[in-house]
Amino acid sequence: MAAQADAPTSESYISHHLTHWTVGEGFWTLNLDTILFSILLGVGFLYFFRRAALAATTDKPSGFLSFLELLVNFVDNAVRESFPGKSQLIAPLALTIFVWVLLWNIMDIIPVDLFPAIFAAGGVEYLKIVPSADMSATFALSLSVFLLILYYSVAGKGFGGFIKEMLTHPFGVWLLPFNIILNVVELLAKPLSLALRLFGNLYAGELIFILIALFTLGNSMSEMLTSVGGWASILGHMALQFAWAVFHILVIPLQAFIFMTLTIVYLGMAYESHDEH
């Protein structure tokens, strides 16, 4: 990292990279960077998938098309195994969640100073490019899942069956207050667990990349290339970046898979009736 005369301190560097590009105040604050990159990734996802679908052929499918076919079959099998009912929404929903969250997470591999430097040239002081490292994004996605949980709870059991289960499951009608408390807690815990798990893992990963970048903070590249200590810092920085990136490449699809799988499982649990218990 090239040094400047007014090189930031470690504290200011970390704080700067963990601050969003925002508009508004208080509860109505919008993280423009999260919205921007979420939309761009979503549009890119739709564009390439639609393009692949239009170019689909059984004669000689491309490598990308074959990969998408494997991905679609993988998601479809996961839905068949975990969701007991029949719905034309679940499989496309699961595929969208998996790919979109995967793209969110992949942004964490991009060098931490690249996009902030590009946007700084346009007058944007703060920027975070990893939507899944923003709690507002993960909670927004999990809130959508929560609304679908409510929908499938009613769709699978009927409104009366849903209310009956909330009041009488699992302890019976005589322990109605405890049933309500337990079921409400369980219902709210599902979106909370989805949001916090994804946010925590990606925020931690982003923070570690930022901490690794501190190895060369405030040092002139020309000076580092002419000293043994400078070369040691450069090589140490590169080795740590590579090691953490390799490990993080495993975390990125895993977190997308977990979010997708738990979404399917939660919707399946909502759809099923527990009268037999």
Instruction: Give the active site residues.
Output: 193, 197, 201
Q: Please name the residue ranges forming H helices in 55-175.
A: 63-82, 90-106, 114-120, 135-168
Q: Which residue has the tokens 């007991």?
A: 84
| Euclidean distance between CA atoms 255 and 26, whole angstroms | 30
Phi, psi (deg, nearest 5) at residue 22 = -125, 165
Reported as type and span, the H/E element at residue 33 is: helix 32-54
| Euclidean distance between CA atoms 266 and 23, whole angstroms | 34
Q: CA gyration radius for the chain?
A: 23
